[in-house]
Amino acid sequence: MRSKSASTFRRSIALHAVLVPLAIVWLFPIWMMVVFSTMPENAIFSPNIHLIPSDRFWENFLILQADTDFLRTIFVSVVVALVYTVLSVMLTSMAGWALARYSFAGKGLVLSIILGTLTLPYFVVVIPQFIMVARDFGLSNTWFALIVPPLFNSLGVLFMRQSFSMMPAELFDAARVEGVREWRIFLFVGMPLARPTLAALSIILFLASWNNYLWPLLINNRPDMMTAPVALGSLIGLTKVSWGGIMVGAVLLTAPMIAVFVLLQRHFIAGIAAGAVK
Amino acid sequence: MRMRTRAAYGFLAPYLLIFATFWVWPIIYSFYLSFLATRIQPWSFNPAVTWGRLVVDPAFLNALRNTLIILVIQVPVMIALATLLAVLLNSQLLKARGIMRFAFFAPVVVGEAAYAAVFRLMFNADFGVINKIIGSIGLPPVAWFGNPTAAMALIMMAVTWRWVGYNAIIILSGLQAIPQDVYEAATLDRVSKPRQFFFITLPLLRPIILFCVVLSIIGTMQLFAEPFLITNRGGPGQATETLGLFLYRQGFTVLNFGYASAVAYTIAALAILISLANLWLGRSAK
């Protein structure tokens, strides 16, 4: 028995000897993001190593706000992510419900198109999407352009279909016998039962929209309709720019998502485990 | 019954409208575009300047080569690391599990612009903290943004930092689905822990690891934001230009939509072919 606990002890040491240094390396960029955001410019570009936060966060924020109206871009990002998440959850839930609980002509076709094109790279559609929205519709720099085209994402459909199809049919049949309308069954019986899936899906969609970079970069370039990641990215390319300010922007973009991750870790991990990002 | 069919179409219609407009139609339209010369008005059918140009365009071949180098080096390293992390994070012996998970999973929520900014500053050749650390142990500084090899290594490190936790989460969920009694039986039969890993865990994880490999291949084929933001538009020169960045340039800097569509379809075809090859290899190795 004694030898067994000794070997357990050795394995525990080995485990932590590998994992602790790796964890420090992995946390380092996030830590440095915070450190940089609090440092004056001349300390960032000095020969000394600074690993402890300083006290210039507010000053750096003011510089960032002057360089680009960052609060406005955060506002655009929040509105886009919220509206996108609500719309996408509604649309994909309804579609998932139809595909899970009804049989109708064309169902197999719709499912096979969704599944067959699921892994197609987004780049295949980005040029036609751009031509359509920017040239044909003339809708660059609009809320529509930011929110509506990305709603094509079909992972919610598969996610919700999976969730709805695992529910016992008797539940809904009982309501039908009592004459409850189909849309009420969906809204008041099906949706509440799918709450854990809805939570995971919402978090994943919100995160995807919040961090979306390529499409907002292409379609909206007017400063007052830029999302925060695009505004931040445009600063990175400049030569005369405050890096402390950029780092404040990075912290403001990252901190809310880290908070969401910490508070809702279970749903978050469930969402990723189901392959629901991208 | 007819009422119920009508209800089904009603539920499906709003999503289907968006899906058809912004996904199915663009897929078809993009294929059509890839045969058009789009640099002169009106656009005309001329696949020689799109598909024909691909095989002789040195800039495209350079981007293809860079992408494949990243694919061959970064994806296997990341998947191996993700598997290791998943197994270690799943261990009963692990202390401070919450912090450990946080360390590796938190990068998953960090946006591309934010992490690109931090990496650019950390790896700054003159004042970056990485070169200061390298210098403090007596090694010469690395020109992360000036040396082509170093710049490629930087891109691969950045992508690995960002995505390893994502893959570890998926593999971890696969690990937790393996019934415990398999291991209990193996322990009773005095099978050592390393042998349990290679002869029980890995074979059972094979499908989920293959899933991660395919996701990573598709992701790497579309790599864009990292070379765009971290190495400043694929620098130094075109040393870190990827297919994604090349497509962006052709499509949205030069506005050559036809050629860019041919590139897009090449990316898709390669992603599908390499994924299928991996699935096939993964299966036949069994």
DSSP B29-87: HHHHHTTEE-SSSSPEE-GGGTHHHHTT-HHHHHHHHHHHHHHHHHHHHHHHHHHHHHH
Check B12 against A95: CB less than 8 A apart: yes
Whole-number pLDDT of residue A271? 85
How far is the C-alpha of A211 from the C-alpha of A230, rounded, in Å? 9
Low-confidence ranges of chain B (pLDDT < 70): 1-2, 284-286
From A126, A210, A262, residue closest to B111, measured CB to CB: A210
| Tens-place pLDDT, residues A175-202 | 999 999 999 999 999 999 999 999 999 9
Separation of alpha carbons B58 and B37, rounded Å: 19
Please check whether residue B154 lies inside any domain of the structure: yes
- 8 A C-beta contact, residue A243 and residue A32: no
For A262-271, which contacts have Cβ atoms below 8 Å and span 24 or more sequence positions? A262/B102, A264/A199, A264/A203, A265/B101, A265/B105, A267/A196, A267/A199, A267/A200, A267/A203, A268/A200, A268/A203, A268/A204, A269/B105, A269/B169, A269/B173, A270/A196, A270/A200, A271/A200, A271/A201, A271/A203, A271/A204
Which residues are B44's β-sheet partners? Answer: B37
To the nearest whole Å, the CA of B63 is away from the closest chain A CA by: 15
Mean pLDDT for the stretch of residues A112-140: 93
Q: Are residues A77 and A140 in contact, defined by beta-carbon separation less than 8 angstroms?
A: no
Asked if B12's CB is within 8 angstroms of A124's CB, the reply is: no
Would you state the pLDDT for residue A163?
A: 94
- Confidence check: pLDDT of A113 > 90: yes
Report H helices in chain A.
2-37, 41-44, 57-67, 70-101, 107-116, 123-130, 143-147, 155-165, 169-177, 182-185, 191-193, 195-211, 214-219, 228-236, 243-263, 265-273
A35 vs chain B: nearest CA distance in angstroms?
A: 10
Tokens of B231: 């190495």
Q: Which two tokens stand for residue A101?
A: 């609980």
Residues B212, B171 contacting (CB under 8 angstroms): yes
> Is B27 part of any domain?
no
Q: Domain span at residue B201?
A: 54-284
Of A30, A202, A58, nearest in space to B111 by CA = A30
Q: What is the CA angle B163-A31-B85, rounded to 5?
A: 35
Residue B271 forms contact with A (CB below 8 Å):
yes
For chain A, say whether B280 makes contact (Cβ under 8 Å).
no
Peptide bond into B141 cis (omega under 30): no
B92 phi, psi to nearest 5 deg: -65, -25
Question: Residue A2: its pLDDT value, please?
Answer: 52
Average pLDDT over residues A153-182: 92
Q: Which two tokens stand for residue B124?
A: 């700054």
Question: Tell me, what's the pLDDT at A278?
Answer: 37
pLDDT of residue B227: 97
**Interface contacts (A, B; CB < 8 Å):** 276
B57/chain A closest Cα distance in angstroms: 20
B82 at A interface, C-beta within 8 A: no
- CA distances to A44, A137, A169, B130, B190 from B140, rounded to whole Å, are 20, 55, 69, 11, 50
State residue A277's pLDDT score.
41
What secondary structure letter does DSSP report for B98?
H
- Output the pLDDT for position A119: 83
Find residues 205-224 of chain B whose CB sits inside 8 Å of chain A.
211, 214-215, 218-219, 221-222, 224
A128 → closest Cβ in B29, B219, B225 = B29
pLDDT of residue A43: 87
**Contact assignment for B169 to A269 by CB distance below 8 Å:** yes
Cβ of residue B97 closer than 8 Å to a chain A Cβ: no
Q: Which of B159, B154, B155, B151 is nearest to B216 (CA)?
A: B159
Instruction: Name which of B22, B222, B268 is nearest A149 (Cβ-Cβ).
Output: B22
Helix (H, G, I), strand (E, B) or coil at A223: helix
Domain assignment present for residue B43? The answer is no
B265 and A124 within 8 Å at the Cβ level: the answer is yes
Contact B22 A129 (CB under 8 A): yes
Cross-strand partners of B37: B44
B114 vs A92: CB contact, 8 Å cut-off?
A: no
- Of chain A, the end-to-end C-alpha distance in Å amounts to 49
Tokens 């694929």, residue? Answer: B234
**Domains in chain A, ordered, with CATH?**
69-273 (1.10.3720.10)
Q: Which residues of B fall within a CB distance of 8 Å from A48?
A: 132
pLDDT of the residue at A75:
97
List, as one string, the DSSP characters of A38-85.
TS-HHHHTSSS---S--S-HHHHHHHHHHHS-HHHHHHHHHHHHHHHH
Chain A contact for B204 (CB, 8 A cutoff): no
Q: Domain tally for chain B?
A: 1
Instruction: State the DSSP H helix or E strand holding residue A154, giving kind and residue range, or none if neither.
Output: none
Cα dihedral across residues B166, B169, B172, B177: positive or negative: negative
B240: DSSP letter? T
Contact A109/B19 with Cβ under 8 angstroms? no
What does the mean pLDDT of chain A come to? 92
Cα(A94)–Cα(A116) distance, integer angstroms: 20
**Please, which residues have CB within 8 angstroms of residue B93's CB and are 6 or more apart in sequence?**
A8, A11, A12, A15
Q: Which residues of A touch B15 (CB under 8 A)?
A: 91-92, 94-95, 151, 157
Chain B residue numbers with beta carbons less than 8 Å from the beta carbon of A154 are: 19, 23
- Say how far residue B140 (Cα) sits from the centre of its chain: 31
Nearest CA in chain B to A96: B12
Query: Does the residue B7 lie in any domain?
Result: no
> Inter-chain contact B161–A26, Cβ cutoff 8 Å?
yes
- According to DSSP H, which parts of chain B are helical? 2-19, 25-33, 51-54, 58-89, 97-105, 112-122, 129-136, 148-176, 180-188, 193-196, 202-221, 225, 243-248, 257-284
Query: B4, A46: Cβ pair inside 8 Å?
Result: no
B21 interaction partners in chain A (CB closer than 8 Å): 132, 152
CA–CA distance, A78 with A60 (Å, rounded to integer): 22
Inter-chain contact B24–A113, Cβ cutoff 8 Å? yes
For residue A121, give the chain B residue with the closest CA.
B268
A16 vs B95, B116, B165: nearest CB: B95
Structure token digits, residue A181: 């309308």
Measured between CA atoms, how close is B286 to chain A, in angstroms? 24
Residues 114-153 of B with CB under 8 A from A: 114-122, 124, 126-127, 129, 132-133, 136
B280, B210 Cβ separation under 8 angstroms:
no
Q: Which of A255, A64, A122 is nearest to B110 (CA)?
A: A255
Residue B168 covered by a domain? yes
The whole-number pLDDT of residue A45 equals: 87
CB contact under 8 A, B272 and A119: yes
- Is residue B42 reached through a cis peptide bond, with omega within 30 degrees of 0 on the bond before it? yes
CATH number at residue B249: 1.10.3720.10
pLDDT of residue B285: 56
Q: Which of residues 45-74 of B touch A (CB under 8 A)?
A: none
Nearest to A128 among B33, B122, B132 (CB): B33
How deeply is B74 buried, as exposed, middle or buried, from its count of CB atoms within 10 A (0-12, 13-18, 19+)? Answer: buried
Q: What is the pLDDT of residue A201?
A: 94
A186 vs B11, B27, B104: nearest CB: B11
Q: What is the pTM of this model?
A: 0.93
Q: Which of chain B's residues have a Cβ under 8 Å away from the Cβ of A213?
A: 111-113, 225
